[in-house]
Amino acid sequence: MTPDEFRQAGHALVDWIANYRERLAAGDYPVQARVSPGEILAQVPAAAPEHGEPFANVLRDIDELLMPGITHWQHPRFFGFFPSGGSLSSVLADMLSTGLGVIGLNWQASPALTELEQGMTDWLRDLLGLPSTFSGVLQDTASAATFVALVCARERATDYGAARAGLQDRACPPLVVYTSAQAHSSVEKAALLAGFGREFVRAIAIDEDFCLVPEALEAAVRKDRAAGLRPCAIVATSGTTATTAFDPIAPIARIAQEERLWLHVDGAMGGSAMILPEYRHHWEGIEAADSIVVNPHKWLTTAFDCSLYLVRDPEHLVRVMSTNPSYLQTAVDAKVRNYRDWGIPLGRRFRALKIWFALRADGAEALRRRVRADIDSAKWLAAEVGRTARWRCVAPVTLQTVCVCHEPPGLSGSELDDHTRRWTAAINDSGRAYLTPAVVAGRWMTRVSIGSEHVSRESVEELWRIMRETASAAATAR
């Protein structure tokens, strides 16, 4: 494709995206894709074309082949999972990143990529109210960041054992990782990837609000130590996936310091709320964390992938993650950050542009306004649920997620679970809204997660009408 062809095709695609977003904002699409497994793949030719074709054909197939298979995360009635940032400013930023086509494998390979990343991670850190003792890097996901944290924990606990026998040092007592049963699935995955083994990952008890109980952590650590094991890391969550519960950081940090545990805080979702000073009490004690991850690509509008990983001791991170082959060395290495040593991949996109564009185009105040509006909508919905017969919030509404259960008379246990999943699936299948069911305290409930790009109070009100209507119909139809 020549620059001239790109000019023409690019203008057409920009218009396509603008039109798509306008139609989305108007609620024009069914939220959930309406295709069966294999339906899209069956339309993809078996072999790659030998010769190019006009871009108009591709544009046509976006509409005809792809769009039926898209579940619209930026739809005003998408309330599934957690929101995924979709600001149009960051769409432009990603286009520039790819258009420049530079790779940040060391500072010299594009100083602007590295230094804007330093600047933008500082901006975000400060917006979140964190002290300047933290240094930041952008990674792809919280899954990767949490893995990096656990590897750093492992290495600190073994005095850099990776340089010797790694986790295969038979003289070293087994290391143990602690988290709560409400932690994201990526925490256990990260621990297993790092070699700890499931037997050495402890799910610490939670209280009735789904927050980790510090006393239970303390007891577990002592028990393990008494058994000859070596407690290594605690992963606390700020905004759990099921209910956005906040584990209490201050008492956990105190235990971490006393017991020499690495404290990693998974604030992938809830960390974003810390741009609001009135929510920072949830982070009391955070300055003692060894590492923190917050995903601007969730609630702070920057497009996926853009995960902020903050550490108190970058020297330790670099020592654990670094490689230094001859072909990557430059004369200025001692004076610069080489972000390849701050994560897993060597190659790195120019991700900082997404934060730069989003904050310059829209401003920090717009982010705070958006986060506040989503929280207000969640509170409104929770109040409606609370004053409606047969409906119940099954968890405290801390942020923008409302966990609800509709309880028709006479239903309990697995029958109630079936009902919950049935009405939720009925809404999703209708295309009118999209919700994620999940299990807490052993029972299915339905999460309403507010925060997609085009969400508004009106779309939440519309959802609530749909929920009541659909759940009642499902109860009657039984």
Q: Which of residues 334-393 bind a copy of itself (CB under 8 A)?
A: 335-336, 344-347, 349, 356-357, 359-366
Q: Which two tokens stand for residue 472?
A: 């009642």
Q: Is residue 193 close enough to count as binding a copy of itself by CB under 8 A?
A: yes
| 203 is a contact residue toward a copy of itself (CB under 8 A) | no
What is the DSSP-derived secondary structure letter of residue 270?
G
In angstroms, give the least distance from the CB of 294 to a copy of itself. 14
Question: What's the full length of the chain, in residues?
Answer: 478
Closest to a copy of itself by CB, 154 or 264? 154
Q: CA-CA distance, 152 to 168, in Å (whole number)? A: 16
Contacts of 76 (CB under 8 A, 6+ apart): 24, 25, 27, 452, 454, 455, 456, 458, 459
The side-by-side arrangement of strands in the sheet containing 78-79 is 78-79, 434-440, 443-449, 401-406, 391-393
Helix H or strand E encompassing 285: none
Please identify which residue in the block is written with the tokens 């939440």: 460
Which of 29, 76, 77, 87: binder of a copy of itself (CB under 8 A)?
A: 87
Applying CB under 8 A, among 159, 226, 331, 387 the residue interacting with a copy of itself is: 331
- 170 by Cβ neighbours in 10 Å (0-12 / 13-18 / 19+) ranks as exposed
Dihedral pair phi/psi, residue 400, rounded to 5° = -110, 10
Binder of a copy of itself out of 17, 227, 250, 473 (CB under 8 A): 17
| 276 contributes a contact to a copy of itself by CB under 8 A | no
Question: Which strands sit side by side in the sheet containing 291-294, from one edge to the other?
Answer: 135-139, 307-311, 291-294, 262-266, 230-237, 175-180, 201-204
Beta bridge partners of 175: 230
Indicate whether 227 belongs to the interface with a copy of itself (CB under 8 A): no
**Cβ closest to a copy of itself, residue 246 vs residue 356:** 356
Measured from the CB atom, the residue of 20 and 283 that comes closer to a copy of itself is: 20
Q: Is 88 in the site for a copy of itself (CB under 8 A)?
A: yes
Residue 214 or 297: the one with the smaller Cβ distance to a copy of itself is 297
- Chain centre to alpha carbon of residue 13: 28
Distance CA 73, CA 31 (A): 8
Number of residues that bind a copy of itself (CB under 8 A): 164
- Rounded-to-5 percentages of helix, strand, coil across the chain: 50, 15, 35
168 is a site residue for a copy of itself (CB under 8 A): yes
Residues 213, 216, 373, 438: which binds a copy of itself (CB under 8 A)? 438
Output the CA angle 41-94-298, nearest 5 degrees. 80
From first CA to last CA, the distance across the chain in angstroms is 57
Of 158 and 214, CB closest to a copy of itself: 158
Residue 21's closest CA among 58, 97, 68, 76?
76
Binding marks (x or -) toward a copy of itself, 117..156, rule CB under 8 A? -xxx-xxx-xx------------xx-xx--x---x--x--
Q: Which of 186, 238, 291, 398 binds a copy of itself (CB under 8 A)?
A: 186
* Closest separation in Å from C-beta 298 to a copy of itself: 9
| C-beta closer to a copy of itself: residue 171 or 389 | 171
Nearest distance, CB of residue 454 and a copy of itself, angstroms: 10
- Residue 247 interacts with a copy of itself (CB under 8 A)? no
Which amino acid type is present at position 277? P
- Closer of 99 and 386 to a copy of itself (Cβ): 99
> Is residue 2 close enough to count as binding a copy of itself by CB under 8 A?
yes
Query: Which of residues 17 and 383 has its CB atom nearest to a copy of itself in the complex?
Result: 17
Counting contacts by CB under 8 A, is residue 209 touching a copy of itself? no
CB 146 within 8 A of CB 235: yes
- Contact criterion met (CB below 8 Å) for 105 and 321: no
Which among 209-217, 219-227, 382-390, 436-444 is the span making contact with a copy of itself, rule CB under 8 A? 436-444
* SS3 assignment, position 21: helix
Shortest CB 464 distance to a copy of itself, Å: 21
- Residue of 64, 66, 227, 478 interacting with a copy of itself (CB under 8 A): 66
Establish if 74 lies at the interface with a copy of itself (CB under 8 A). Answer: yes
Residue closer to a copy of itself (CB basis): 158 or 249: 158
Binding mask 38-57 vs a copy of itself (x if CB under 8 A, - otherwise)? xxxx--x-xxxxxxxx-x-x
Structure tokens at 187: 């925490």
Minimum distance of a copy of itself from residue 4's CB (angstroms): 7
Q: What would the two tokens of residue 475 be?
A: 């109860």
Identified binder of a copy of itself from the candidate list 60, 63, 164, 227, rule CB under 8 A? 164
Q: Does 99 bind a copy of itself (CB under 8 A)?
A: yes
Q: Toward a copy of itself, which CB reaches closer, 335 or 387? A: 335
DSSP H or E run through 267: none
Chain centroid to CA 39: how far? 29
Selected from 436, 461, 462, 469, the binder of a copy of itself by CB under 8 A is: 436
